[in-house]
Amino acid sequence: MRKALPVQVSHNFTSASAVFDDDHLVSCAGLVPVMTLAVQTGLGELLADNICIAEPRIKSGAANPAPKLATLVAGMCAGADSIDDVDIVRSGGMKTLFDAVYAPSTIGTLLREFTFGHARQLESVLRHHLAALCERVELLPGGDRRAFVDIDSLLRPVYGHAKQGTSYGHTKISGKQILRKGLSPLITTISTDTGAPVIAGARLRAGRANSAKGAARMIVQAVVTAQAAGVAGEIVVRGDSAYGTGVLTAACRRAGARFSLALTKNRSVASAIATIPEGAWTPVCYPSAVRDPDTGDWISDAEVAETSYTAFSSTPHAVAARLIVRRVKDARHLDALFPVWRYHPFLTDTTDPAPDADIAHRRHAIIETVFADLIDGPLAHIPSGRFGANSAWLLCAAIAHNLLRAAGVLTGGTHAVARGATLRRRIVTIPARLARPQRRPILHLPSHWPWAQQWTTLWRNTIGGQRPPPQPCTA
């Protein structure tokens, strides 16, 4: 039997061998190009111009909101998922790299001053900063042809009785609907066929809030944000059955966007599906599908067909559009004499052929990657007991997500679509030693760093003389 050799330490350490005494070590050297990008896109100015707390409960706590929130965004880019974690940008030589770095307690005091109106101010910063990032970085390649606005919500669980706004809401875990106590963020994203999604809007709601509450307004704002971000082509709004309502379709048309929204199967939809002739069903060639080597048929049994349909006819928002239906064999009746189908209908006014429209609609699941990034990062916890503070936390997390996404694009290669955790591990949380030979600051980074070339590319694209010229970086 072969046994794996244990990892052995090359030195004989003692209890006094580890000392925290170096003021020149930097734990997150990647924050320098990332926050330089934030300065170049005017994040500090947007925060200063839009955030105004006129009547704070604690006067000193509401002072200087721009650098405090910038410090919070920097901490989130480094992996902070609680207010105390923001202290990572104040250790060692980090305070030498950045100006106006604030303590977590001071940031927490500021967040507790936020109300619903202040959160809307911060949401305005999110939208304008995304437009500035898209002007600086090609975040939405292919936006001159088509872009997608996705909307969805999630339920973040909380524990204890001190969280304002928490209530029991429905969520699905392992395919089962359960009640869970928490808060429900509603998020809109913008993506293209070749670009990873960025966050256009975020709003925190109570856990029992209906999924579509406030969705119409957020869709209109997301479409306007997409246009401000340089999207000149067609914009398609996608959503699941919670957003397949007449109000949402009217909002899409009012904003000048097309829609692709799943519908709840009711009697009217079932009657429309029943009118589709058997010969109209077409197999779907999904991008990841494979052919059977013996028969040459697609392994997937999914088929699509379409019919005309007038939805929401009993409401003031009746709309005539294409009803595209995807059907798959029911796994519970595989041994039935005749196939038993499950139907998944969605309503759309796009002009794509039915198979292409179905493939584009199913890519709505890309918003789940944004949720995974947020849950694996700043939204791992809901940090404060105040609802307004948690709203501000959510919006700062969205700003940090977009900033990391822009940094990944500037890094190039697979990092342009990499997960937030990957970007933090490879690009942001890289240790360094700060030196000043001849009064010129130099960061000495680890030799043989696996992603040294990509990190250098990001550095040159931000610090190395790209427009606009480098400015003092403020965390």
Alpha-carbon distance 367 to 274, whole Å?
Answer: 32
Q: Quick: pLDDT tens for 118-134.
A: 999 999 999 999 999 99
Q: Residue 341 has what pLDDT?
A: 82
Provide the residue type at 416 as one letter.
Answer: A
Mean pLDDT of 138-155: 94
Measured CA angle at 67 (ends 471, 443), to 5 deg: 45
Q: Quick: pLDDT tens for 392-412.
A: 999 999 999 999 999 999 999
Among 353, 406, 356, 292, smallest CA distance to 43 is for 406
Q: Residue 419 has what pLDDT?
A: 93
Q: Residue 337 has what pLDDT?
A: 64
Domain ranges of the chain: 25-120+384-462
Alpha-carbon distance 150 to 367, whole Å?
Answer: 7
**Helices and strands, counts by H and E, the chain:** 14, 14
pLDDT band at 180 (very low <50, low <70, confident <90, very high): confident
More confident residue, 7 or 83: 83
Whether pLDDT at 416 is above 60: yes
Q: Residue 474 has what pLDDT?
A: 47
At a CB cut-off of 8 Å and minimum separation 6, what does 49 contact? none
Q: Quick: pLDDT tens for 33-56.
A: 999 999 999 999 999 999 999 888
Alpha-carbon distance 433 to 443, whole Å?
Answer: 6
